[in-house]
Amino acid sequence: MKKLVLMALICSLLAFTSFAKSVRVSGHIKKSGTYIAPHYKTFPNRTKIDNWPTKGNVNPYTGKKGAKRIY
């Protein structure tokens, strides 16, 4: 029973941090003339807790740890 609960917890964590919760941003040129290379960002929502730059999270594409405070 403990193994089943642990497996369910691991699956839910993997689903929460999956690559599917990201959006691809195409490369573009800003009004200032700066080129922005194509990249991925977290799926837009109303919370800061699950954003990659937030402390405690890691960007799955770059491995960079988040440093921004939640509030």
In DSSP terms, 29 is beta-bridged to 35
- Tell me if residue 12 falls in helix, strand or coil: helix
* 11 or 30: which leads in pLDDT: 30
- Measured CA to CA, the distance from residue 45 to residue 38 in angstroms comes to 21
Residue 22 CA, distance from chain mean position: 6
In DSSP terms, 35 is beta-bridged to 29
The stretch 21-26 carries a mean pLDDT of 88
- Measured CA to CA, the distance from residue 24 to residue 52 in angstroms comes to 14
% of the chain exceeding 90 in pLDDT: 21
* Residue 8 clears pLDDT 60, i.e. is over it: no
Model pLDDT, residue 18: 47
